[in-house]
Amino acid sequence: MTEPSWTVVVPVKRLEVAKSRLRGALPGVPHESLALALALDTVRAVLACDAVAALLVVTDDPRVAPAVRAAGARVLPDVPDAGLNAALRHGAAAAGGPVAGLTADLPALRPAELGAALRAAADPGVRHFVADSPGDGTVLLTAPAGVPLDPRFGAGSAGAHAASGALPLTGGWPTLRRDVDTPADLAEATRLGLGPRTAALAVPSCPAAAPG
């Protein structure tokens, strides 16, 4: 059996301003409910991953914090108005041992794919990253114990992480690489298989059979 060792840090923006490119993607579904579901399905997969020892969620959102705490995560308050990379640095500083930053918009994530990526990153002394499905962004950044995470998320972050000395991980891992920024990304994640919270919003349920 694999010994869990990684602390995963997941930053979650306040829901009312999160995932702005997805606003209106699911007619009739409040935007904040969709953003919350994406984060909770990501968190659920992280907590089910056998390579993960602890999950830190960095957020100031009043709905996200209690929900992820109930699921088994530790919550750290955000650094006010400092953005995604500051949130990740803050979480990484609170972690001991190897640390991984993961985005909170991976509703199809399968625990086994995250575990395979973390095991592939177990190289002492070297940071690693997993690019998103298009290849220019980043979904996962890892640092071994004693090495700063040094996150450079944002537009073109795969190139920025490579330029900072992090090594790309090359596994397929379609559910790990499928971050959801746009309605087209959500459709692709639906094809891969959504986690339960997002599926409950995105996949129309069968109408009840007519009586008689």
Ligand X SMILES: Nc1nc2c(ncn2[C@@H]2O[C@H](COP(=O)(O)OP(=O)(O)OP(=O)(O)O)[C@@H](O)[C@H]2O)c(=O)[nH]1
Q: Which is nearer to ligand X, 36 or 143 (CB)?
A: 36
Nearest distance in Å: CB 132, ligand PEP: 6
What, of ligand PEP, ligand X, none, does residue 138 touch, CB below 5 to 8 Å by kind?
Answer: ligand PEP
**Piece in contact with ligand X (CB under 6 A), picked from 5-13, 126-134, 161-169, 203-211:** 5-13
Q: Does 2 count as an annotated binding residue?
A: no
Dihedral, 94, 79, 129, 118 alpha carbons, nearest 10 = 40
Nearest distance in Å: CB 154, ligand PEP: 5
Residue 62 half-sphere exposure, CB side, CA atoms within 13 Å? Answer: 1
Place of tokens 């397929």: 172
Interaction of residue 85 with ligand PEP, rule CB under 6 A: no
Cα separation, 124 vs 108, whole angstroms: 29
Cα separation, 195 vs 182, whole angstroms: 17
Which pair of structure tokens corresponds to residue 116? 């395979």
Q: Does 154 count as an annotated binding residue?
A: yes
Q: Does 157 count as an annotated binding residue?
A: yes
Interaction of residue 129 with ligand PEP, rule CB under 6 A: no
